[in-house]
A and B are shown apart, each in its own frame.
Chain A
């Protein structure tokens, strides 16, 4: 057992599960989507991305790019949330919530790809 692989797999899967947790629920209902969860998703995704640094294989490059996509989407979601709460006059509305959740849904898709790639790599290794 390779401890590096354990940590790596852990963070990648955790990024997906947390992301899913944030994503489920009515898309426009602020009660179904908690800000703590978004925070956790971002932090775990950041760590997962950094863990993918410096991998020279083709698989590593694709994994890194999916992570970067997920991060981009999540940062956008966090930015929208911050602007809605603190900058704009209207505050948190249903439509804003919907766009935040849909952004995180995109990030989840990227995380799914990440996990699928991870599974494929594991299957190909057969060890």
Chain B
């Protein structure tokens, strides 16, 4: 910024000096040349009138000859100066205006405004590099959870869409290269409140560079990267990138879960997606039979591998097998959109189909053709672009894979409820019956909408009432936390998913579990339960009602009165 500012100042020298010199020559001439007043006496124009006259003459306003009519000599001088001052005026003002409107100067001003806005942030924030579909989705869900964000994006149109977006928080956006450390510093990489950096661009190299920059310049910051090649993932992992999100691997993991434990898959879907959506139906991908995988790119490979791990036979349809590599199975050359190829792959007898090319129209066409040939197929569709949402909704596939959405949900979970990702990881070690029981508990609790998930840490800041009670020597149990502050005979509609004390993690803790300072808890439930719970957490009187069933007098006077009454009684 500084450089360009000084360059502009320096370039303003010449036009300004020309303007000043031309003005002073014209003024001096007018003062020196003798004139006449109304009565015909000799009169010299003074500096005040000369400056006034030159000012309106140079800017081509022209009020006429004042205060008295000019003599021939004065007119001669004015004729000369009209041309010179007007030209100089236009030149100088034109140059200065064009300097101020210079693109690089404007960009410098914008960058400076952005940097000062970031500097003024007074709450923890996250830097998001890349405002494509994923970035947009992530910013939307982060701001709706009251989390501040800062965006760095290379394309100007995308920054404009960010400005248009109706977000709950103001999100400063910088049009710049996230791979440039200068820009990352402006975005607040060294800001003490910067808690995380998320690299979301489609360019693996750029994400890698962001990760390196962050780890070098601000080591404590959490880095989350999107990557879709195992090569780059290994590279990122080598220098301590905190989380690497690969949408294709993630989806194939979900798919494996769906094969082995449908209820667990359902829990994953409900808890990690957007809260308060329609509850999904469970899916049961069929196992006994042949699957067809259309497209053997990154997605096709990941799914194919999972299918093989599950011991399921699969046929691949790929347009350019020489480019993508030959799978260790039957591979048919073709697009998959036409009936011939699908029939060749045995669509009539197959049980499942994966439409996994990187073209949405092809995927839709594959699905519709295959459905006609075999309406019983279990269909997994890959959606590449957000705007085709309605089409995929209409085609009604059994499982949908949308990379941007998967990445955004995953990252939001890592940032806002890290305990949930621990929970889901540990849940994989339990059998499906355990998960099915949890599913039925959740359904009974929330009816139709997916539950809200939240974390609670027992400390002075987020649970002051609890801390006071614990300091006073009372022992609190988890069961007491789950009582309604309105009527303690009622339970809040929420479930404690996990209790964490130091390194011990307990899934679905019992209600007798006692609560100590420093414990962390993960809940899911209705959002109304969350707000009711915070009542007891923050207010000691409410807490004491929940624990004893007695409404404690609140003011000092009433407390003294209460004590006296009790003593008498």
Question: B24 to A43, Cβ gap below 8 A?
Answer: yes
Q: Please give, as numbers and ranges, the residues of chain B lying within 8 Å of A51 by CB-CB distance.
A: 13, 17
Q: Is A86 an interface residue (CB 8 A)?
A: yes
CB distance from A85 to the nearest CB of B (A): 7
**How far in angstroms is the closest Cβ of chain A from B435?**
66
Given contacts A82-B48, A85-B46, contact A50 B7 (CB under 8 A): no
CB distance from B225 to the nearest CB of A (A): 38
Q: Does A56 contact B (CB under 8 A)?
A: yes
The yes or no answer to A3 lying at the interface (CB within 8 A) is: no
Residue contact A53 to B13, C-beta cutoff 8 Å:
yes
B253 in the interface (beta carbon within 8 A): no
Whether the Cβ atoms of B48 and A86 lie closer than 8 Å is yes
Q: Which residues of A contact B7 (CB under 8 A)?
A: 54
Interchain CA distance A35-B28 in the complex, whole Å: 11
How many angstroms from the CA of A47 to the CA of B20 in the assembled complex?
7
Interface residues of B in 1-46 (CB under 8 A from A): 2, 6-13, 16-17, 20-21, 24, 27-28, 31, 46
Q: In the complex, which of the residues B10, B24, B27, B31 contacts A54, with contact meaning CB atoms closer than 8 Å? A: B10
B31 contact set on A, CB distance < 8 A: 36, 39
Bound state CA distance, A86 and B52, in angstroms? 13
Counting CB contacts under 8 A, is B77 at the interface?
no
Interface residue total, chain A, C-beta cutoff 8 A: 16
Q: Does B47 contact A (CB under 8 A)?
A: yes
Report the number of A-B residue pairs with Cβ-Cβ less than 8 Å: 46
A118 sits at the interface (CB 8 A): no
Instruction: Check B27 against A39 for contact (C-beta < 8 Å).
Output: yes
Q: Mark B39-67, 1 if CB is under 8 A from A, else 0.
A: 00000001110000000000000000000
Contact indicator B12/A53 (Cβ below 8 Å)? yes
Provide the bound-state CA to CA distance between A63 and B538, in Å.
60
A46 close to B (CB within 8 Å): yes
How far apart sit A53 and B178, CA to CA, in the bound complex (Å)?
A: 33
| Residues of the B chain whose Cβ atoms lie less than 8 Å from the Cβ of A35 | 46-47
Nearest A residue to B46 via CB reads A85
A55–B353 CA distance with the chains assembled, in angstroms: 69
**Interface size of B as a range:** 20 to 34
Q: Nearest chain A CB to B14's CB is how many angstroms away? A: 9
Give the residue name and chain of the B residue nearest to A54 (CB): B10
Against A, the Cβ 8 Å flags (1 = close, 0 = not) of B130-144 are 000000000000000
| B47 lies within 8 A of A39 (CB) | yes
Q: How far is the CB of A21 from chain B (nearest CB, A)?
A: 16
Mark A38-68 against chain B: 1 for CB-CB distance below 8 A, else 0.
0100010011001101111000000000000
Alpha-carbon gap, A110 to B8, bound state (A): 26
**Distance between Cα atoms of A85 and B24 in the complex (Å):** 20
Partner of B17, one of A36, A47, A86: A47
Closest B residue to A60 by beta carbon equals B6
Which residue of chain B has its CB nearest to the CB of A83? B48
Verify B48–A47 contact, CB threshold 8 A: no
Q: Mark A69-99, 1 if CB is under 8 A from B, else 0.
A: 0000000001000100110000000000000
Q: How far is the CB of A78 from chain B (nearest CB, A)?
A: 8
Which A residues touch B6, using CB under 8 A?
54-56
B369 to chain A, nearest CB (A): 68
With the chains together, A51 CA to B13 CA distance in Å? 6
Which of B16, B46, B47 is most buried by chain A, counting CB atoms within 10 A of its CB?
B47
Q: What's the nearest-Cβ distance from chain B to residue A79, in Å?
A: 10
Instruction: State the Cβ distance, B30 to closest chain A Cβ, in Å.
Output: 11
Q: Which of A36, A54, A82, A85 is the one whose CB lies under 8 Å from B13?
A: A54
Bound together, the chains give a CA A19 to CA B104 distance in angstroms of 40
Contact of A39 among B8, B17, B24 (CB under 8 A): B24
Cβ of B27 and Cβ of A50 under 8 Å apart? no
Return A97 CB to nearest CB of chain B, in Å.
Answer: 16
> Which residues from chain B contact A36 at a C-beta distance below 8 Å?
28, 31
In this complex, what residue of B is CB-closest to A45?
Answer: B20
A47 to B48: give the CA distance in the assembly, Å.
20
Contact call A85/B27, Cβ cutoff below 8 A: no
CB-nearest residue of chain A relative to B49? A86
Complex CA–CA separation, A50 to B11 (angstroms):
10
Q: Contact: B9 with A39, CB < 8 Å?
A: no
Within 8 Å CB of A54, what residues of B?
6-13
The reply to whether A47 and B21 form a contact with Cβ atoms under 8 Å apart is yes
Alpha-carbon separation in the docked complex, A39 to B50 (Å): 11
Give chain A nearest CB distance to B54 CB in angstroms.
12
A70 to chain B, nearest CB (A): 15
In residues 2-61 of chain A, which contact B (Cβ within 8 Å)?
Answer: 35-36, 39, 43, 46-47, 50-51, 53-56
Q: Which residues of A contact B (CB under 8 A)?
A: 35-36, 39, 43, 46-47, 50-51, 53-56, 78, 82, 85-86
For the complex with contacts A35-B46, A51-B13, 14 further pairs of A-B residues with Cβ separation under 8 Å are: A39-B24, A39-B27, A43-B20, A43-B21, A50-B12, A50-B13, A51-B17, A53-B13, A53-B16, A54-B11, A54-B12, A78-B47, A85-B48, A86-B48
| Chain B residues near A (Cβ < 8 Å) | 2, 6-13, 16-17, 20-21, 24, 27-28, 31, 46-48
**Interchain Cβ contacts under 8 Å between A and B, 5 examples:** A35-B47, A47-B17, A51-B13, A56-B2, A86-B48
Closest 7 interchain pairs by CB? A54-B10, A54-B9, A43-B24, A53-B9, A50-B16, A82-B48, A46-B20
